[in-house]
Structure 1
């Protein structure tokens, strides 16, 4: 690749100098950064542990998934969605869009490269990123590589690892237990009593899909949740909120959203869907909790096809006891309990990220750290937030690249100095 030069072997680990940023993650965030850098004439290398781009979308999402927001709020920088795509593109269409994006900007990630550690070497002023192969030769030390470069971009995102809570008695349950990342369709659960743990967008949509395949879902709603209509009079609620935010304070926009929700959906609390005291936009901005945009599940809740139940006390063989004393017969359990960042597992010697894997500095200033470290896709604001981070990151790196570093001279000098320290 043009961005690499001067490879050499050091015992069993191959070291590679990267003449540009090292980007960890080939999801939408990583692709967007690489594309924006390329537009500025800055080369980069993307390291991806899977064997494809956007592995979350390609391998860990359910079949019926569509973008929950209109496409104009989900497009990556410098490349709009095709005009013939619907307002809410399907999973397949979004993957096609990402593949077209990578092709358009000639972004070619290095696949099957799982980052084990990334640390800043103060001696030579460079980042050292160690990977191991995840393909057929995974675990073979001869396939360990250390990438060395001036900048590091963490782009693994907010959804890198699944979250599965530890619940009393689950090991004795005996039935099928899975996470939503492994769920594809309700066809496999036809006729079964399924406990869906979680009531976010995934939990609601999975429960709806189960109903459509003649399963019998019970959805665990432990905490309060905002349920909003996806559209009002054919207009996206999210788009309306963005428009109102240009003129009104956040608290007032929240009030308007809740009034529209009540007029459109009615009183959802009588179905066990208790609303938080904080408004939906304020809750999203302060705690990252996304409101549920209803795509049909609420009608199934009203009809009783989706049973809303409180928190879980413990599991028994083929049964679950709830905190209110109910005992349900259950064949399968699906955890729609979300994902988390995995940055703390591999980023070493750095306090830019907190223990929960998000930048310590809140939005909108959490995209840049010290020593050439950047974070893209950790804003809790979806693809729009990731795109904004990508643009800022690329502009910042390009400014240094063009005005200060004189890449050819700098790369040769730093490479020699770093080799002497290995």
Structure 2
């Protein structure tokens, strides 16, 4: 290692050779790949910009959150959930599971390391990944050099904040759903929740349960399904039917059963898409809402569903239908996006939006040792499936290299930086 310092800053620069893959992201997807590689006896380095694993779950989710799907569809490879966990584990239980998962497989991410760039070096046929970390007065820059890179930063890396006319003029509190923890401090207040997906529905429900007065913006169409049908998970029932029936028939059955259980959701201002919920998910990646109680509050008038926003003013919002609402706070349940285009210097495999161009189920492998996990829009089960494929694919090359008795190198070999 080569380093130098001056009076104003301690500045360390290192170049590190990694004998196995570098995994960018220590969320569930990155942990799943790490575990599968460990099972194959392949070393890896996991880089994480936050100070903990699964930072989205630990730092950017609301307190009442539970898994929307049964635990058997959300567990990571090689280690199931504890048997005593409920069918829908809580946020804390899921975090505990991920912590124990990392410990079980000996995955120790490099925390507080933000990847600034990752680029394939054609000359040496290796990936060069530059990271920066700051701890107190110490700023460190590291360049990792490796044969494989696994992009595991996922679909929810950065919050999406829409441009809405007059939003900057609003005098009340404006937060994104990733900053919302509980409705406790909003008791008695009028809160506008922008977005009617799973987050928007749950935030609105939580606000009602804390005696707030939420209005939920439903700008586009949305499928609202019951979380369970006849005592069984709606998702589980759909997966079972899809083994025997085409998607369009399964969609029709689900919508018919939903109508019997929930009634006509369009009468509450929640317009349904023309495409069925499964087809919509498979084609556009838009997840249906699995209702956990918000619809009952909408029926009762405790949650008001309102149309799209025209503009904000100091303490009001004007809707597209001309109605004006006096509000105290705004929660933007407007989703997340990929941040891959910011740091990955590659344009063949990933699109400008930061997702693999090749559709599921073949969007996990690119060229030159590039892999992606957690971008299938199929939740944790999709990430787990891709993690196993990635580990198996890398393992083939790894074992072939061993057979050819190539020179072995330690997992971390330090050299002078070439910044």
**Structure 1's 214 and 370: CA in aligned 2 closer, same or farther, altered over 3 A?**
same
Partner secondary structure for residue 409 of structure 1? coil
TM-score normalised per structure 2: 0.95
Shift of 1:233: 1.7
Shift of 1:404: 3.2
- Unaligned residue ranges in structure 1 (runs of 5+): 1-6
In the alignment, is the contact (CA less than 8 A) between 1:211 and 1:306 conserved in 2? yes
Which stretches in structure 2 are left out of the alignment for 5+ residues? 5-10
Paired residue secondary structure (2:163): coil
Q: For 1:281-332, what per-residue CA distance to the aligned partner results, in whole angstroms no more than 9, with x for missing partners?
A: 0000110100000000000000110000000000000000000000000100
Q: 1:137 to 1:159 in 2, by over 3 A?
A: farther
Superposed CA deviations along residues 194-250 of structure 1, whole A, max 9, x for unmatched, are 000000000000000000000000000000000000001210000000000100001
Alignment match, 1:32: 32
CA distance in structure 2 between the aligned counterparts of 1:339 and 1:407, rounded to whole angstroms: 45
TM-superposed deviation, 1:405? 5.6
2:278 is aligned with 1:277: no
- 1:210 match: secondary structure: helix
Residue of structure 2 aligned with 1:194, choices 191, 197, 204:
191
1:185 aligns with 2:185: no
Aligned partners of 1:36 and 1:394 also within 8 Å: yes
SS at match of 1:214: coil
Q: Residues of 1 paired with 2:404 and 2:174: CA distance?
A: 52
Question: Which residue matches 1:148?
Answer: 145
Distance 2:405 2:18 in 1: 12
Tell me how far apart the structure 2 counterparts of residues 32 and 134 of structure 1 sit (CA, whole Å).
27
| CA gap 1:121/1:263 in 2 versus in 1, 3 angstroms | same
Check if 1:359 corresponds to 2:356. yes
**Correspondences of 1:342-381 after superposition (within 5 Å):** 342-381=339-378
Structure 1 residue ranges, 4+ long, deviating more than 2 angstroms after superposition = 7-13, 134-138, 404-413, 418-422
Within 5 Å, give how 1:13-412 maps onto structure 2: 13-137=13-137, 140=139, 143-404=140-401, 409-410=406-407, 412=409
Deviation at 1:144, TM superposition (A): 0.7
CA contact (8 A) 1:114 1:134 kept: no
Answer 1 or 2: higher relative contact order, Cα 8 Å, separation at least 6. Answer: 2
Deviation track 1:3-39 (CA, whole Å, cap 9, x = no partner) reads xxxx556995211111100000000000000000000
Deviations 1:109-161 (A, max 9, x none): 000000000000011110000000044347x3xx0111110000000000000
Structure 1 residue 97: deviation in Å?
0.3
1:4 aligned partner: none
How many angstroms does 1:355 deviate by? 1.0
User: C-alpha deviations, 1:253-303, integer Å up to 9, x for none?
Assistant: 001110111010000101000000000000001101000000000000001
Answer yes or no: is the 8 Å Cα contact 1:366–1:379 preserved in 2: yes
CA RMSD of aligned residues (A): 2.0
Q: Do the aligned residues in 2 keep the contact of 1:29 with 1:155 (CA within 8 Å)?
A: yes
